[in-house]
Structure 1
Amino acid sequence: MIRAMRKNGLVLAFVALLSTGLIAITDALTKDTIAEQQRLQLLNVLNQVIPTSMHDNPLYKSCTMVTSPELGSKSPMPAYIATKDGKTTAIAIEAIAPDGYNGAIKILVGVDTNKTVLGLRVLSQNETPGLGDKIELSVSDWALSFNNQKIESADDKRWHVQKDGGQFDQFTGATITPRAVVNAARKAAWYVSENLDTIVRQPQDCGDAS
């Protein structure tokens, strides 16, 4: 009986060791592939908020970490600096809308040197399908309404949903979500506009941050 138990224990230990080894090997073999897919996905989104015609540098690598309450997070957020012929043309910055209907919404906003928002994309969200998820470009074209919108002040009256006197559409039955995104985008865009030189001078030290 004891011998059988020991035998079974050894078998289980061997199987566990083999499983751990296979997982480690699989992770090692796929790590580079996953990293490359993440890089391509990030580059694709960056090129959506800053057109490729506006930069000739490796945008996903030209990244610095910035911290500001205006970005909706206590943690540093990545800012990607676009340059062409050695001159800064725009910055794409990540920000958090903390007051979405179902929690925080992460966005990416592209802003040029003339205080114009080039584009906005949602990076992550948990909003209600069929209602709040219309902030996603894959669901509706609402995010395109930010394209080429200039921001003039920290509380630019146009940078609100229509229900609050602004220019951005809200969704029927789901005003909270677009309001949260518009407010976060306004704050992030103004932060970049007012701190562009400071951001550009920071060390580019966030590596493969996404």
Structure 2
Amino acid sequence: MEPVIPQPTPFGLSLRTALTMLAFTIVFTALMAGTYEATQSTIAASAEEAKLQLINEVLPPASYDNALLRDELKLAAAPELGLPKGASVWRARKAGQPVALVLEAVAPDGYAGKIRLVMAVMQDGSLGGVRVVEHHETPGLGDYIDPKKDKNKAAPWIEQFKALTGQAWKVKKDGGDIAYRTGATISARAVTNAVARVAAFARSEQAHLYQQGAQP
């Protein structure tokens, strides 16, 4: 006589299914946690590398020797930079002496909204350089403020700011020295005015900004 195999009850089936799902969830969570731990440092390193690469476009790497990204000052509020809810300032030094301030900022009055910037203001008040990092200006018209979109690769519009000292940081239409492209004055004016405000802030506050916080 063949043995009688007991049939699982509905409760037993539900319990077995629940235990299987629980085991799967535990294994999946463990795998995800392991993957996150394994990739977290790589992701962080890539983000820092990208940030430093951008900063080095406005400030020559040879001009400083400190760990720039570690020498960061967080401002709780920075309306002068167009960032009332806070901003970052990175302090470049060489042999322990101040070289430049690298600041993030926003021009609030672009043609199509806010224009995010990063710029370096040297210790003597001149500019190391300016880069547009985010904007929504009209493609093919106002987007020349971004060197990646500027069709003039030999002499991008944004390079006009390099080494300027601030005597006439206005577009030529407003009586300044900064050239602009016909039909796209608003974009150029927004960036130029923001650069002038940020540079003035950096020059007036540089001693205070360098003194805040401990030097890493």
Query: Normalization by structure 1: what TM-score?
Result: 0.82
Residue in structure 2 matching 1:145, options 155, 160, 185:
160
Change (3 A) 1:9 1:164: farther
Give per-residue Cα distances to partners, 1:30-72, cap 9 Å, x unaligned: 2211111111111112122121222111111111023332111
Are the structure 2 counterparts of residues 33 and 72 from structure 1 closer, same or farther at C-alpha, using a change threshold of 3 Å? same
Counterpart-to-counterpart distance in 2, 1:17 and 1:196: 53
- Unmatched runs of 5 consecutive residues or more in structure 2: 1-9, 151-155
Q: Deviations over 1:168-188 (max 9, x none)?
A: 122332222111111111100
Matched, 1:79 2:89: yes
Deviation at 1:94, TM superposition (A): 0.8
* Greater CA drift, 74-83 or 27-36: 27-36
Q: Within 5 Å, which residues of 2 pair with 1:41-190?
A: 41-66=50-75, 67-140=77-150, 141-152=156-167, 158-190=168-200
Shift of 1:9: 8.6
For 2:157 and 2:18, how far apart are their aligned partners in 1? Answer: 59
Structure 1 residues 86 and 17, CA gap change in structure 2 (3 angstroms):
same
Deviation (angstroms), 1:151: 1.7
In the alignment, the residues of structure 1 paired with residue 141 and residue 212 of structure 2 have an alpha-carbon distance, to the nearest angstrom, of: 39
Give distance in 2, aligned partners of 1:177 and 1:165: 16
Q: CA 1:23 to 1:74, structure 2 compared with 1: closer, same or farther past 3 Å?
A: same
SS of residue in 2 equivalent to 1:150:
coil
User: In terms of mean alpha carbon deviation, does 173-182 or 194-203 score higher?
Assistant: 173-182
RMSD of aligned residue pairs (Cα, Å): 2.6
Identity of aligned residues (%): 33
How many residues of Structure 1 are paired with residues of Structure 2 in the alignment? 201
User: Counterpart amino acid of 2:191?
Assistant: V
Larger radius of gyration: 2
